[in-house]
Every structure is written in C-alpha cells, then in structure tokens.
A and B are shown apart, each in its own frame.
Chain A
C-alpha cells in the first residue's frame, strides 16, 4: 500500500507552540499533499510538495519531503486555537490517484 501514515495520531499543544506532524509512505510518488479537515467538514488543501522538492513554505506552514526515507513532515509555527483540526497527508502516484493517511488530530489549547 502506498498510503501515507501519519504520526502522531493525536497531538495537543498550547497556543503559540509549534506543531509537527509526520507522514510516511511506501511507494514512489509524484507529489505529496497535506490537507486539513475540521470536524465533520470537507477537506481543505494546504500545500503540495513535488517529489523533486525538499522543502516548501506557505505562511506558517513548512513542509519537508525526504524521498529516500519516504517521509514528510508538516510544521505549523506559532499555532492558534483555530488550527485545531485533523491533518492528513496524501500521496499521489504517477497514475495520479491519491491515497490518504489516517491523519493527525491536532488540538491547540488557548
């Protein structure tokens, strides 16, 4: 299976702290994407990193990709209570189908 597997499954931090979530996968990928989902709601695309990229930034988000280790990390800096959500990594193969991991449930306490 090439599904991403996130860790930790759940993460609880205080507002202002940084949150780091990791994702591992098993097969070759075209790109890797991170999504956010508020409880019971739809998926919001956060960031896409291509297989030939190692790091990408978007606002308070920083994503890394290590294709040799088949892993990625999502760092949210200076977290806010509004960042509370589930975060999923999704791997896209050359065939373009997307596979999601189980997600990390992030709670940011005010």
Chain B
C-alpha cells in the first residue's frame, strides 16, 4: 500500500540553525500539508500546498518557515533560524484530488532544537 515517507526520523539542531525536513507524498496525490505537534499537545496545522503554491497557512507559519516541491516527488519544510520552541514532531500529509478524500500522514520527524 502506498504511504507517505519522511526523513529524517529524528533531527537535533542548534538554535539559530536552518533545518530542512523532507517528505515524499503518495505519488498521485495533489495536495500536501505540514503539521506539527509539540510534545503532549495537539496536532497543529501549518500549511497546505497545491499546484506549486501555498493554498493556506496558519498563524504559526511565519517568515521563518517555507515549503517547496523541488522535483515533483519531494515536499520540503524549511525552518530558517530554529528556535527552542520549534522542537516538535513534524508531520507531512498528502491527499488526492477529491475534497472528501482522506489525508494520509507520514510517520513524522522529531525535531529537537538545543
């Protein structure tokens, strides 16, 4: 069964460093998403991406965040200058064309900012 994959599974970085989290969505999906979950808290929507542009973003997704689909298969989330409070699990998700379809989530990347 096709699945969303994410790399790395864990990343430790120093405050102020840039990180890139990578996702490979399911191949025929058209809509892509990033979410984050701070330890012990709920899953928070960050951004949705369709047709090579951001379709919606939350108030969390400020100028330090950016997303890209560089090569037609990968979908990346870049955090330019990490802060301690960026430590969280980051989930990528994708879905197909129909609005009633399920979003399929990747296993997540656990980011720790020291």
Interface size on B, residues (CB 8 A): 24
| Assembled-state Cα–Cα distance A97/B33 (Å) | 9
| Assembled-state Cα–Cα distance A92/B42 (Å) | 16
Interface positions of A (Cβ within 8 A of B): 3, 30-31, 33, 35, 40-45, 48, 50, 88, 90, 92, 94-103
Which residues from chain B contact A98 at a C-beta distance below 8 Å? 33, 35, 45, 93, 103
- Please determine whether B100 and A50 come into contact, CB atoms closer than 8 angstroms: yes
Interface positions of B (Cβ within 8 A of A): 31, 33, 35, 41-45, 48, 55-56, 89, 91, 93, 99-100, 102-108, 110
Q: Identify A100's interface contact among B44, B106, B108, CB under 8 A.
A: B44
Which residues from chain A contact B106 at a C-beta distance below 8 Å? 42
Q: Identify A42's interface contact among B44, B99, B105, CB under 8 A.
A: B105
